[in-house]
Amino acid sequence: MSDSEKPGRYPRSANSLIASLVVTLLVVAAFVVFRAVTRDNQEIEPEAVDYLETVEQIQGSGARVAYPRELPEGWKATSVAFTPGERGAFGLSMLTDDGTFVGLRQEDEGVDDLLETYVDEETVEGETVDIDSQIARTWESYSDEGGDRAYATELGEDTLLVFGSADEDDLRLLIESLTTEPVS
């Protein structure tokens, strides 16, 4: 084979390999920066749900659930859930006016099980507190290391749990608004 028939070769060296890697990394970095600058990061705001309509239907089936007659100004209900049956369950998720979470859960489970499911596996029991509520006057308080709080009481055979990352005043405000009266 003559020199003219040999395939072309280019000089290979460690420096040229490093230069190629650097160029590749610069191209990838430029793409990432471009996407970060041009991407439109929209905040997704949860839609409000009409929880009173659901409560009215639940009450129409004969079940008794605790719910807030109305939400404080600026709050919104983001989800409502109901599981019918002998061991039924009711849940309501809300956001306060400053965007912190408050949840309400009513079901035929022990308080420890509800705390483990909805708050934390390692909640700490606090004081028994008196709160001016139509549901119950006495509530057990709980907290976790992450700053979540919860209040629990009995409603018939059910445990009622009010919990969330909202501050203590917001949780108490919700508890004070709870009722089991028919939706009007």
Confidence check: pLDDT of 7 > 80: no
Residue appearing with tokens 């549901």: 135
- The stretches of 84-183 forming alpha helices (DSSP H) are 111-118, 168-177
In terms of CATH architecture, what is 51-179?
2-Layer Sandwich (3.30)
33-70 pLDDT per residue, tens: 888 777 766 666 778 889 999 999 999 988 899 999 99
Confidence check: pLDDT of 84 > 90: no
Range of weakest confidence among 4-18, 81-95, 111-125, 142-156: 4-18
Beta bridge partners of 101: 95
What's the pTM value of the predicted model, to 2 decimals? 0.74
Of residues 74 and 41, more confidence is placed in: 74
Taking all residues of the chain, what is their mean pLDDT, rounded to a whole number? 87
114-160 pLDDT per residue, tens: 999 999 888 888 999 999 999 999 999 999 888 899 999 999 999 99
160-174 pLDDT per residue, tens: 999 999 999 999 999
Of residues 5 and 97, more confidence is placed in: 97
